[in-house]
Every structure is written in C-alpha cells, then in structure tokens.
A and B are shown apart, each in its own frame.
Chain A
C-alpha cells in the first residue's frame, strides 16, 4: 500500500474532478481555492479602483456619476480588505502552517472547508449587489448616521452589513482552527520558540481574528436592528449616538489593520533569511514584537476619531499608544535589515518583494506616525493624505508581502516555479505603479483634497497630483495582470521545482513539491529552529519525510456538508433583508438541518489512528 503511494508521481491530486474539490477537506486544496477566489476578487476590486482613478483624472469629470462613484469606492475598500487581503493571507495560512509545523492537516478539516465556502458565498452575495443596482455606497467604514434608513433608503447597506456578517463567521472559525492547529499539532520537538515566523504571525493574527471580529459582528447587528427593525442605536434624534458606531467599528477596525499586516511580516521573516543565507537576526525579538503589536493594537482605535472631539485626556492616551506601537514595528524593520547585513543575498522575485516591503511600508509607517499626532491629524483627517498613508501600508505592506509569499511558496504548492522574468516585471511595475499612484496623494491631501468626493473643481492645484495618480494606477493595474498571467502560465507549464528550490530552513521544504495529500508520510522530530540548515538534522528529517509511510496515514473523510452548510448560512442571512420575522425564522431551518447532519457525520474513518 505504502510503496504504491510512494511511486505515484502525482500524489497531490489523488482524486480529480469538480466533486472532489467541492467535498475536499485537504488544507492544501482549500488553500488553492482561497487563493484563486481572492485573486478574482482582487481583479474585480482593482478594476473599480482604475475606474475611480479615470473619473478623477480631470477636474469636473463626468465619467462616473456620484452614485456609481460612491458604490465603487465603497466596494473597492470593502472587497480589498474582506475579500482580498484577509482571505489571501488565509490561503497562505492554510497551505503553509500545517507543513511548517509537521502536521497532516489542520485541527478541524471540515470547519476549514466551511470557512472557505462561507467566504466564497458571502463574497458573491456582497458582490451580487451590483446586479440588483444596490451596491453598498456609504464607504467601507459605514459611518452612522449616513447608513440609517432615512439617509440610505435602498438595500445597499443591507447588502453590506449582511455580507460582512457572513464573511465574519468565516474569519472567526478560521481563527479557532489555526490557533488549535498551531498550539496542539506541532511535530515532536517543535517548541513554540522553534516555530517559523510565518506560523508565529499566523498564531497572533488568529488571536486577533477571534477577538476582534465579534465586535464588528455586534456593531453590524446594531446597524441591522436600526435599518431593518426600526431601532435607534445610532440615530441621535431618537436617543441614539453616531459616535458609538465609530467606537465599535474602530475597536474592530484597528486590530484589523494588524490582522492585515502581520501575515506579511511573518512571510518576509521566513523569506529574507532564506535569500540572505542567514538565520533571522534576533528571532525572539521578532516574535515578541509581533505579539506586542497584537496587544497594543487594541489600545489605539480612537486615533481614527481625533476630529470627533473626545477631549484632551482621551486624545493624549491614543496619541501615546499609537506612537508606542511604532516601536515594535520599527524593531522588526531593523531585524530584517540585520538579517540581510553580511548575508549572501539572492534577489529572486520573492526577495525583491520582501525588500520592496521594507522600503515602501516604512514610508507608510512614517506618515502613520505623522497623523498619530492629534493636531496634525486635524489637518489631515479625511483628506487624500490618509488615503496615501493606508495604501502605502496595505498595498506596500500587506500586498507586497503576500506577493513575496506567492513567489516563495508557489513551487511548493504546485511543483512548478513562477516565471522569474515575468516576476521581475511584476515587481517593478508594482513598485513604480504604487509609488506613482499613492505618493502624489500626499500632496493632493495636504492641498486639501477630501476623500470620497467624486470630483473636484478646476484651479485648486489638484490636477497634476490626480493625473500622476491615475497614470500610476494604470501601471499598477498592469502589474496585477502580469501577475495573473504568470500564475496561470506557470501553473500549466512552469519550470519543474525540486523539493527545496530555495535552500530554505523550515520543514515544508523537506517534502516533495507538491507534497503528498497526507503531507508527512511519517512525522519528523525537530531539534532546532532551522532543521534543514544543519547537515545532520537535515539527513535525519529527510530520512523520515522522504521515506514511504510506516503505517497508512488516516486522513479525514471528504464531506459535502461544509458546502451545503455555507450555502444555507448565506441563504438564512440573506433572508434577514426581508425584515419579516417568520421568513427569517423559516430561513434558519436549512442551516439547522445542515448543522445536525454535519454533526452526525464522522470526521475521520472509523477506528482511525494517527
């Protein structure tokens, strides 16, 4: 049995066909689906950004109407954060973490599949609002009281609040799954302080997901009550409080920022040592800095609200906390520089993106410190300066880190390299495009151009900055197309990759590319932080991971319940839009049925043993 598995050259696809993908609980396949889906949403939300930039190319332009413009910038922000950046990071969590810690799958494989299907269907539900002519149009922050029924009468914001509630379920379940996996399923000898940094940052991010997402769920429930059941949480005329929304939103929203950036930090903390041929400089400090960011990230939310007028005491607290959080981030930057210092550096595409992150993210970090100061913030609030800042950190940080991770782990996932020539084109168009798009926005903002305004009059000195931004956006859009083309082409006929194409140190590189569907034929024992960089340990580990399995590995059963449950959850939530209590109650029946059916289905084959 085991010998046959060993000789099968294509063990990754032990079963093919659409049904095997719908019922899969394999974390590697789920990772691929996460990535493909987030890539499609990336192209959609990116196209919206290009249209926004075309509208802003000339003063008093009428390319887009104000209504359509509002829908585009709202959906651009909402999609990029909830449907692109977060799930694309989760794609890498899924693929990389079990391989890095020496596990055969995540702790709850069916729950993992459910997370993916909820994300996909919730994302489709949210995006489908365009076909009903009711795309969300009150910005991704959904500020009350613009979102109340009297100011937003259509279904637009109902789509938004219900769509985000659905996607939030997926995030919480993903967080639970990865925390359990990382804490409990490490290979023997893999102590916490021997875990690769990407796994570490997945752990911190997962804790943030589990604790921050429930808060926006509650905020969305309040908003839903206001909009659908006539309550008045945010309506000052009837005793509510619009600032209350801002507190809830940003109490989630600021930890969310670190949910977006920490996975990228984790990825480049693995990539930079590999391509510098040096262990990560100050490993424990990088870990502690990541944890510290996760903690302090909870105490800075009101720096989004300095213009509200919370008073000098509250403002001072949040100024201090915001400035303090720059310290662990800066420490990390120096650790990465220290890793490269004196190393023998190879500038592969993955490394270029990592170094690009260091440069570009730092610019965004510095402008962040600028508006951490309340008096400065009063000038910059809701101007393009802020737009420039958060695009520098999210595009220059999160997305550059994720592209680095893509070039780094693609050979492991697919067994083929991404094309390096196209990769370099991708990198340079990204670097030039994003700087040309977002750097002029600092000036547009300082000249007083407000965000979320669909046009501007002539003669305010804003033309040149907007024109530069639009040209940059087109170049940046081109980089996305190059990358997509590269992924499709390399997936089909890229150059074959060996087990360890980069000479990296962590466990996933001790497996064939792509790995067996059961990952590890036998579970290796780990004795150091860089098991593959020690000659003796490498021989030991590979003796175990490259050998045929000693016992047949018992893998979890495939199941169609995750897909059905996700579909019924989406349906149940969508029916809340009707606002009729018995329709909502009836709508819960399929969800309840699926949960029960799921519960009775055994997760593993009977009598299965590790």
Chain B
C-alpha cells in the first residue's frame, strides 16, 4: 500500500490483469499495431521488387551503403545507451539516467541528421519519387525503387524523430526529478518504443541496402 501510494495510477498493475502496468501494456499493444504498419510497408516492397526486378538497382549502385552502415551502427549504439539509462534509474541513479538519456538523444539525432544528408544527396542525383523525373535522371532501376525507398526509410525516420522528441520530454522530466526506481514507467515505455524502432531499422537496412 505504501509503495502503491507513491506510484501513479497508470503504473500500477491491478490484480486480475497481466501483472504489467497499463502504460506498458498499452505501449506493447501500440507496438503490435506498428508491427502491422511496417509489415505492410516492407511486405509491399518485397512484393513489388519481386514483381518488377527491372525497377530495382543492385546494392550500392544508387544508395550509399557504407554511410548507412555507419548510421546503422549509431542507431544500435543508441539502444545500448537507452538500456543504460533504464538500468541507471532502476538503481535510483539520477545522474546516470540523465547522462545516458542525453547520449541516446545525441545518437538518435545524429541518425536522423545523417538520413537527411543522405536524402539531400539522393534527390540531387535525381533519385526522386516522381516517376517522370526518375526516368529522366538516367539512374539505374525505376521509380518504384525511389518511391518505396522514401516511404520505408522516411516513415522509419519519422519514427526515430518522434522517439527523439519523446526522449527529450523524458529528459526534461528527469531533470525535474520525476523518476525513481518506483516510478520509471515513462522511461521504460519510451525505451520499448526506441528498441522497436531500432529493430525495424535492422530489417530495413538489410532488405533495402544489402540484399
């Protein structure tokens, strides 16, 4: 009871439920929805690519694989720092929480920044979703390549950017001392989302850049 009194209602696990507090369960269900969203996107890419192989170029022909490989590494590192942030607050380490959150924000922002840089280069090369312009650019493949590329990586990038926004929010609350080993639902929830987005990228990187 005394422990419950310090916890906000969303973070208490009621008796006949799953034993997971509402916020965490809600995030899991939301991620289920996200899985379907990305499955539809990635599945579409796979289907279109099998149906129209002439529209897709070989790995590395159009896209800059080494740059994105480095970027992938950065995003994976940000998952590690996220775990460290959560581990810190589990031990009531306020300073550690803030440091690792900041590190995650920096790495996440870097990922988005590199992606924007990559987009600008690709657009300059004529790698655009507009079908007419693509054909005129003389690049290998066809407009289905660029359309699917921008949709998949773009929606993933938006997810990373939203995650960075959520992390900034968590950091502000952490600076106000909102979290403790008894109240860490916010950190855990954003962490789950962050790892999910990271996981999606590993799949995307593999099928869009490497295969």
Quick check: is B14 within 8 A (CB to CB) of the other chain?
A: yes
Q: Are B151 and A175 in contact (CB under 8 A)?
A: no
B116 in the interface (beta carbon within 8 A): no
A240 at the A/B interface (Cβ < 8 Å)? yes
Smallest CB separation, A565 vs chain B (Å) = 14
Question: Can you list, as one digit per residue, whether each of B26-37 has a CB less than 8 Å from chain A (1) or not (0)?
Answer: 100110111011
Q: B22 an interface residue at 8 Å Cβ cutoff?
A: yes
Q: Which of A185, A213, A248, A592 is in CB contact (< 8 Å) with B14?
A: A185
Evaluate contact between B30 and A239: CB separation under 8 angstroms: no
Are the CB atoms of B22 and A108 closer together than 8 Å? Answer: yes
Complex Cα distance A182/B97, Å? 33
Residues A610 and B41 in contact, CB atoms below 8 Å apart: no
Contact indicator B14/A239 (Cβ below 8 Å): no
Pick from A175, A180, A595: contact of B33, CB below 8 A. Answer: A175
Q: Is A422 an interface residue (CB 8 A)?
A: no
In chain A, positions 213-265 with a C-beta closer than 8 Å to chain B are: 213-215, 217-219, 221-222, 225, 229-233, 235, 238-241, 244, 248, 251
Q: Is the CB of A225 within 8 A of B129?
A: yes
> How many residues on the A side are at the interface (Cβ–Cβ under 8 A)?
55
For B12, list chain A residues within 8 Å (CB): 610
* Interface flag for A404 (CB, 8 Å): no
Binds B, one of A188-196, A302-310, A503-511: A188-196
Q: How far is the CA of A176 from the CA of B30 in the complex (A)?
A: 6
A608 interface residue per 8 A CB criterion = yes
CB pair A232–B17 under 8 Å, yes or no, is no
Q: Which residues of B contact A210 (CB under 8 A)?
A: 29-30, 32-33, 36
Q: Is the interface of B mostly helix, strand, loop or mixed?
A: helix
By a CB distance below 8 angstroms, the chain A residues around B113 are none
Q: Are B131 and A177 in contact (CB under 8 A)?
A: no
Contacts of B202 in A (CB 8 A): none
- Asked if B61 is at the interface of the complex by the 8 Å CB criterion, the answer is no
Q: Are A190 and B16 in contact (CB under 8 A)?
A: yes
The reply to whether B40 and A610 contact each other, CB–CB distance below 8 Å, is: no
Contact B37–A217 (Cβ < 8 Å): yes
* Bound CA–CA A602/B173 (angstroms): 12
Task: Give Cα A183 to B21, complex, Å.
Answer: 10
| Contact indicator A609/B131 (Cβ below 8 Å) | no
Q: Is B13 an interface residue (CB 8 A)?
A: yes
A602–B176 alpha-carbon span in the complex (Å): 14
Quick check: is A186 within 8 A (CB to CB) of the other chain? yes
Q: Does A459 contact B (CB under 8 A)?
A: no
Complexed CA–CA distance, A375 and B54 (Å): 35
A465 CA / B58 CA spacing, docked (Å): 59
| Interface window among B44-52, B71-79, B87-95 | B44-52
Q: Are A222's CB and B44's CB within 8 A?
A: yes
A332 to chain B, nearest CB (A): 26
**Residue B211 is within 8 A (CB to CB) of chain A in the complex:** no
| Least distance between A451 CB and chain B CB atoms (Å) | 28
The reply to whether the CB of A172 lies closer than 8 angstroms to some CB of chain B is yes
Name the interface residues of B60-89: CB closer than 8 Å to any CB of A.
Answer: none
Does A134 lie at the interface of the complex (its beta carbon under 8 Å from any beta carbon of B)? no
Give the Cβ gap from A171 to chain B, nearest Cβ, in Å: 10
19 intermolecular pairs with C-beta atoms under 8 Å apart: A172-B33, A175-B29, A176-B29, A176-B30, A180-B29, A183-B25, A186-B14, A186-B16, A210-B36, A211-B36, A214-B36, A214-B37, A217-B37, A221-B151, A225-B151, A230-B131, A230-B132, A231-B129, A231-B131
Residues of B within 8 A of A (CB): 4-5, 8-10, 12-18, 20-22, 25-26, 29-30, 32-34, 36-37, 40-41, 44, 47-48, 51-52, 54-55, 129-133, 142-144, 147, 151, 155, 165, 169
User: What 17 new A-B contacts, CB under 8 Å, besides A184-B21, A187-B16, A232-B143?
Assistant: A107-B10, A172-B30, A175-B29, A186-B16, A210-B33, A219-B40, A222-B151, A230-B130, A231-B131, A233-B48, A239-B143, A596-B165, A599-B169, A603-B8, A608-B8, A610-B12, A610-B14
